[in-house]
Amino acid sequence: MTTRTVGRPEADEIPAHFVGYIQRVSELDPVTVCAAQIEETASVLHGLSNDAAMYRYARGKWSVKEVVGHLADVERIMAYRALRIARGDETPLPGFDENAYVPIAKFDVRSLADLVGELRTTRAATLALLRTFDTDAWRRRGTASGKPVSVRALAFIIPGHERHHLDILRTRYGVGEKQ
């Protein structure tokens, strides 16, 4: 078994709009966090009916299903960015508009179980990728959305972003609350 040395990202490796996500991950190894986190997320969503997963806490907000689909989309994009940068690709990577992705994806017509399954599959692929990175790869930096970012920052953003949305699901949607 190899020892993974990721290290926490420095301030100049993190685009300002992602700092809050990284702050949600106090652990030192984002790979370990990602591996455990998918079970927590699945557990929080377990037992939620498809009808309940259509809930939106306010007009214009995403449904629970849309939040789960969004998590998979963003994770794919962050993992792709990490792959490109870890492999030494210096091409600036474009941004994306998650608010444009969600309606086109039509997550609400799918079952919650299918969306959670997709998130599990996405996480498995992310873990397989992250586990290949050596110390040099973790420290590589690139540009995404016009901002400098490192591979290790991207690896911390993934679980931090999910924690952010799980917190919203719990506090604003009432998902995972004891009945």
Whether the predicted model's global pTM rises above the 0.85 cut: yes
pLDDT at 1: 43
pLDDT higher than threshold 80 for residue 81: yes
Look at domain 20-171 and name its CATH class. Answer: mainly alpha
Rounded-to-integer distance, Cα 51 and Cα 31, Å: 33
pLDDT confidence bin for 3, thresholds 50/70/90: low
pLDDT at 5: 82
Average pLDDT, the chain: 95
How many C-beta atoms surround the C-beta of residue 144 within 10 A? 23
How long, in residues, is the chain? Answer: 179
